[in-house]
């Protein structure tokens, strides 16, 4: 409720209970002003209690309730998607792994290491090492427990549109790429279930608990 809505509630009285003098209008305004500050805050609080409308620290509270922590510099949109998808995701199978790659590492692929045991994860060249490491932290909810994984990143591919092919002379460096490069990143051997937690933000964040 904003100021005008609160004022309308206070003025919803029979005329015998109201006065037309300026002092009466000022008194009602002085009562409506702090009440509107309170009701606006409550409206905002009620919005944050709905997952689809939660933002900033309140979205972290929703995530921490399911032990899904925000990654460094992760936006609200991506974090909200990851919370929801973590709780609803398929797990353990190749389609489940590929779906998780499609969501948070677009262009990545998973293949079985036949005839050996395990799977190979291949990440696109556009992802940094830090982004791949963050993806692997979220992967412990999806991966099959105890199955070995190889981790690699694909090369950027063929530069068939460079000056070498336009008659403009040589360009320094190699113009042919592709292939994959193994990454020195470890991966957890376990698949962890969601653990409901009481977020510490309830007690420490001044915006959530003033």
Query: Are residues 99 and 154 part of one domain?
Result: yes
CA distances from 74 to 60, 113, 134 (A): 11, 32, 10
Give the pLDDT score at 80. Answer: 92
Q: What is the pLDDT of residues 10-26, one digit of tens each?
A: 878 788 778 888 888 88
Q: What is the pLDDT of residues 152-182, one digit of tens each?
A: 888 765 555 455 555 555 555 444 555 667 7
- The answer to whether residue 208 sits within a structural domain is no
- The answer to whether residue 62 sits within a structural domain is no
Query: Are residues 176 and 103 part of one domain?
Result: yes
> 142: pLDDT confidence band, cut at 50, 70 and 90?
confident
- The answer to whether residue 106 sits within a structural domain is yes
Query: Are residues 93 and 176 part of one domain?
Result: yes
- The answer to whether residue 132 sits within a structural domain is yes
Give the pLDDT score at 158. Answer: 55
Give the pLDDT score at 179. Answer: 63
- The answer to whether residue 153 sits within a structural domain is yes
- The answer to whether residue 191 sits within a structural domain is no
**155 close to 181: Cβ distance less than 8 angstroms:** yes
Q: Which of 69, 3, 76, 80 is closest to 34 using CA atoms?
A: 3
- Residue span of the structural domain in which 16 resides: 3-48
Pick the range with the lowest mean pLDDT from 25-29, 66-70, 107-111, 192-196.
192-196
Q: Which of 102, 100, 121, 125 is closest to 110 using CA atoms?
A: 121
Query: Are residues 9 and 92 part of one domain?
Result: no
Query: Are residues 175 and 111 part of one domain?
Result: yes
Q: How far apart are CA 97 and CA 89, in angstroms?
A: 10
Q: How far apart are CA 92 and CA 149, in angstroms?
A: 12
Query: Are residues 174 and 105 part of one domain?
Result: yes
Query: Are residues 104 and 25 part of one domain?
Result: no
Query: Are residues 101 and 28 part of one domain?
Result: no
pTM: 0.57
- The answer to whether residue 198 sits within a structural domain is no
Give the pLDDT score at 174. Answer: 46
- In terms of Cβ atoms closer than 10 Å to its own Cβ (0-12, 13-18, 19+), residue 135 is buried
Q: What is the pLDDT of residues 88-135, one digit of tens each?
A: 888 888 999 999 999 889 889 999 888 888 898 999 888 888 888 888
Query: Structurally, how many domains does the chain consist of?
Result: 2
- The answer to whether residue 27 sits within a structural domain is yes
Mapped onto helix, strand or coil, the DSSP state of residue 149 is: strand
């Amino acid at each position: 409720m904003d100021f005008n809505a609160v004022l309308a509630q206070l003025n919803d009285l029979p005329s015998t209970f109201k006065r037309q003098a300026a002092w009466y209008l000022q008194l009602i305004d002085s009562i409506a002003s702090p009440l509107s500050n309170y009701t606006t805050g409550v409206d905002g609080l009620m919005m944050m209690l709905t997952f689809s409308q939660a933002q900033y620290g309140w979205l972290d509270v929703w995530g921490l309730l399911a032990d899904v922590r925000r990654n460094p510099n992760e936006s609200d949109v991506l974090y909200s998607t990851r919370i929801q998808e973590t709780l609803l995701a398929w797990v353990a199978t190749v389609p489940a792994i590929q779906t998780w790659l499609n969501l948070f590492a677009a262009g990545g692929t998973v293949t079985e290491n036949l005839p050996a045991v395990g799977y190979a994860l291949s990440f696109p060249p556009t992802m940094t090492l830090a982004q791949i490491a963050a993806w692997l932290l979220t992967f412990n909810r999806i991966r099959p427990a105890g199955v070995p994984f190889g981790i690699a990143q694909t090369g950027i591919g063929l530069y068939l549109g460079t000056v070498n092919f336009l008659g403009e002379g040589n360009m320094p460096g190699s113009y042919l790429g592709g292939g994959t490069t193994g990454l020195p990143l470890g991966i957890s051997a376990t698949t962890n279930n969601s653990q409901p937690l009481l977020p510490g933000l309830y007690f420490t964040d001044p915006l959530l608990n003033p």
